[in-house]
């Protein structure tokens, strides 16, 4: 503790600003910020609650100047603390944003001169947010304008924008709208030199101006540009062929052609989004929003097996669903078991909600217990057109003998969405003895591979006596596998690296990604070489060195992962 007190004393003595910074290191605070939604526990040195960007600059400048003297110092950003990989915990300083840096600065229409010339007549909207803004608070304001940030994750009632952008999150509407990186227009980021810079799409002329700058920002542009130019073929060859990927740094998305103009652009926001705060600390983001569709209707489908699931996806995709979400029978039974909690969230009496499941019960009696429930959401601006689409899909499902229910009210639909979104929280909080243990929780393979892939995955889990729940995004082949385990037992903990390696080997064999949405953190960073190979890992390490030569930003995430360290920090009491 003396070593820790020494740096805090020196930090406080440097200037008046540092004296006013809210820095806490009581045992209670350190314990609270030692965990997130992952299986890990790492005790930090201190927790700082920054009030503004000047305080963050001061902290970074202090670490930069004193890293050799106090090598344990690092800085890890934290927003809602819902990260399932250990991405928001570390031994250094935790920067917690939700207390003060939680402002929604604006929600406005994008000016016409900023819109793409081919889409002058289409209205576009954006918002400016700080990292501590909870999505639930943002959603209320956006709803008033019928707007939506469409890549929100299942944890939307708990998460905040700091982690959403840091992880390049995605969720139930990603099938139609894509991931977070698609919607980040610009970022203000404090880098290792302690200064704030703005990053956004640059055309070639603007890029050349950056390359000529004789400062830290110019150095970054020159070095990243050179890295991408010199290694173009290697990088493109390593590009994941799936629709979503949060593994490593997105080198393939920085220097590319704009899909609207066809012109080359250079966009470093694509490196920061999904970087888990390992390259710098973002303080402000401008994000693009979409208009919500006026009308929607949900169809709940009962799927017997994984072969049927793959065929089902091919049937439904031509109908352009906004969502195509999946959860397994264990999650369904869990939701039914904790029906009072779901009823409370929806705001209806438990008995009334139970009665709403009468049609589902009848469907199960007629067709048996499903292996998967798949939620198909169709939306449209025109009610008549939507009804027509629903009717055609209903007939197609009927002709293919897919048991299903067309839900007629929002209340009926919401019970399914709550069950899907809350499945992890129910597992984490309600199941006794064994706990939800996310460590192979986010793989993705192309949907056409699922009939081959899923039985092999289930065999790996069965062979190691690991019993998971299934949920995910059927339309993209992205599944969240959450085993229930007793981490107090060493024999259970010892399964984790073995199952990780075997499952990741299988994912790589089918050209997938080991993480589509949840990112790398402590649990998957050690396996990135398994996915990408040594050459790409070397490029990731070079990127880290370019932005963070002293390794002060969230060390051990994205590069230099240590499996032994991760295993030593598994939290048996979670």
Q: What is the structure's pLDDT at 283?
A: 98
* Chain-centroid distance, C-alpha 253: 17
- Whole domain around residue 134: which residue ranges? 104-204+234-291
H-helix or E-strand spanning residue 425: helix 423-430
In DSSP notation, 256-292 reads: EE-TTT--EEEETHHHHTTSTTSS-EEEEEEEEEEEP
Q: What is the structure's pLDDT at 478?
A: 96
Domain of 396, CATH number, reads 3.30.70.3450
Q: What is the structure's pLDDT at 418?
A: 79
* Residue 226 included in any domain: no
CB atoms under 10 Å from CB of 32, counted, come to 15
Q: Are residues 453 and 530 in the same domain?
A: yes
H-helix or E-strand spanning residue 201: strand 196-202
Q: What is the structure's pLDDT at 431?
A: 63
Q: Are residues 309 and 370 in the same domain?
A: yes
Domain total in the chain: 4
pTM above 0.85, yes or no: yes
* Residue 213 included in any domain: no
Residues 211-233 as b or e (16 or more Cβ within 10 Å = b): eeeeeebeebbeebbebbeebee
What are the start-end ranges of the E strands in 229-352?
Answer: 255-257, 264-267, 281-291, 295-303, 323-328
Residues 323/327/331/333 CA torsion (nearest 10 deg): 100
In the chain, how long is the greatest CA-to-CA distance? 75
* Residue 372 included in any domain: yes
Of 419, 440, 463, the one marking the end of a domain is 419
Q: Are residues 160 and 263 in the same domain?
A: yes
Q: Are residues 451 and 546 in the same domain?
A: yes
Cβ neighbours of residue 532 closer than 8 Å, sequence gap 6 or more: 238, 247, 248, 540
Structure tokens at 41: 């526990």
Q: Are residues 90 and 112 in the same domain?
A: no
Residues 225/204, Cβ–Cβ less than 8 Å: no
Q: Are residues 316 and 437 in the same domain?
A: no
* Residue 119 included in any domain: yes
Residues 38/441, Cβ–Cβ less than 8 Å: no
* Residue 424 included in any domain: no
Q: Are residues 89 and 119 in the same domain?
A: no
Strand partners, 199: 187
Q: Are residues 7 and 21 in the same domain?
A: yes
Q: Are residues 369 and 480 in the same domain?
A: no
* Residue 227 included in any domain: no
Q: What is the structure's pLDDT at 112?
A: 64
* Residue 217 included in any domain: no
* Residue 222 included in any domain: no
Domain of 76, CATH number, reads 3.30.43.10
Q: Mean pLDDT for each 10-residue chunk of the chain (574 residues)?
A: 70 87 96 97 98 97 95 96 97 98 96 53 87 98 96 94 98 95 98 98 97 97 98 96 97 86 91 98 98 95 88 94 89 73 76 79 87 94 97 97 92 81 66 82 94 94 92 92 92 97 98 97 98 98 98 98 97 86
Domain of 269, CATH number, reads 3.30.465.10
Q: What is the structure's pLDDT at 2?
A: 42
Question: Strand, helix or coil at 184?
Answer: strand
Q: What is the DSSP letter of 92?
A: S
Q: What is the structure's pLDDT at 118?
A: 44
Cα–Cα distance, 332 to 217 (Å, whole number): 51
Q: Are residues 387 and 458 in the same domain?
A: no
Q: Are residues 167 and 257 in the same domain?
A: yes
Of 63, 96, 129, the one marking the end of a domain is 96
In DSSP notation, 134-182 reads: BHHHHHHHHHTTTEE-TT--TTTTT-BHHHHHHHT---TTHHHH--GGG
Q: Are residues 453 and 558 in the same domain?
A: yes
Cα–Cα distance, 179 to 181 (Å, whole number): 6
């Amino acid at each position: 503790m003396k070593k820790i007190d020494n740096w805090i004393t020196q930090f406080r003595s440097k200037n008046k600003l540092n004296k006013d910074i809210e820095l806490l290191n009581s045992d209670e605070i350190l314990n609270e910020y030692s965990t997130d939604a992952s299986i890990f526990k790492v005790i930090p040195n201190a927790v700082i609650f920054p009030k503004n960007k000047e305080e963050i600059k001061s902290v970074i400048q202090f670490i930069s100047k004193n890293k050799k003297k106090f090598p344990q110092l690092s800085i890890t950003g934290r927003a809602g603390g819902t990260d399932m990989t250990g991405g928001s915990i570390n031994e250094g300083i935790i920067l917690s944003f939700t207390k003060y840096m939680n402002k929604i600065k604006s929600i406005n229409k994008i000016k016409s001169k900023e819109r793409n010339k081919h889409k002058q007549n289409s209205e576009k909207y954006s918002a400016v947010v700080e990292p501590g803004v909870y999505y639930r608070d943002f959603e209320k304001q956006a709803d008033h304008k019928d707007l939506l940030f469409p890549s929100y994750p299942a944890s939307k009632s708990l998460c905040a924008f700091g982690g959403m952008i840091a992880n390049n999150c995605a969720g139930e509407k990603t099938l139609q709208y894509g991931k977070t990186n698609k919607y980040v227009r610009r970022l203000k980021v404090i880098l290792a030199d302690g200064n704030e810079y703005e990053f956004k799409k640059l055309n070639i002329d603007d890029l050349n101006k950056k390359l000529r700058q004789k400062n830290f920002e110019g150095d970054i542009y020159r070095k990243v540009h050179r890295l991408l130019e010199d290694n173009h073929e290697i990088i493109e060859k390593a590009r994941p062929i799936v629709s979503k990927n949060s593994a490593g740094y997105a080198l393939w998305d920085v220097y590319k052609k704009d899909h609207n103009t066809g012109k080359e652009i250079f966009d470093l926001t694509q490196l920061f989004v999904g970087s888990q705060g390992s390259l710098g600390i973002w303080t402000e983001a401008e994000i693009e929003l979409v208009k919500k569709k006026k009308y929607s209707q949900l169809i709940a489908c009962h799927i017997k097996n994984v072969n049927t699931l793959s065929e089902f996806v091919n049937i439904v995709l031509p109908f352009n669903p906004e969502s195509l979400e999946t959860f397994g029978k264990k999650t369904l039974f869990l939701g039914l078991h904790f029906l009072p909690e779901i009823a409370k969230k929806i705001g209806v009496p438990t008995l009334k909600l139970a009665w709403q499941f009468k049609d589902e019960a009848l469907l199960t009696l007629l067709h048996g217990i499903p292996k998967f429930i798949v939620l198909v959401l169709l939306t449209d601006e025109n009610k008549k057109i939507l009804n027509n689409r629903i009717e055609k899909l209903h007939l197609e499902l009927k002709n293919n003998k897919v048991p299903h229910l067309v839900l007629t009210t929002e209340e009926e639909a919401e019970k399914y969405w709550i069950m899907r979104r809350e499945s992890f929280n129910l597992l984490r909080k309600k199941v006794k003895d064994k706990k939800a243990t996310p460590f192979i929780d986010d793989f993705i393979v192309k949907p056409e591979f699922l009939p081959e892939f899923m039985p092999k995955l289930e065999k790996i889990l069965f062979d190691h006596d690991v019993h998971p729940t299934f949920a995910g995004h059927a339309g993209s082949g992205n599944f969240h596998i959450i085993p229930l385990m007793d981490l107090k037992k060493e024999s259970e903990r010892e399964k984790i690296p073995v199952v990780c390696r075997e499952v990741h080997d299988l994912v790589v064999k089918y050209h997938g990604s080991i993480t589509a949405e949840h990112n790398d953190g402590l649990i998957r960073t050690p396996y990135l070489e398994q996915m990408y190979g040594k050459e790409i890992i070397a490029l990731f390490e070079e990127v880290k060195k370019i932005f963070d030569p002293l390794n002060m930003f969230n060390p051990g995430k994205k590069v230099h992962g240590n499996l032994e360290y991760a295993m030593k920090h598994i939290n048996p009491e979670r």
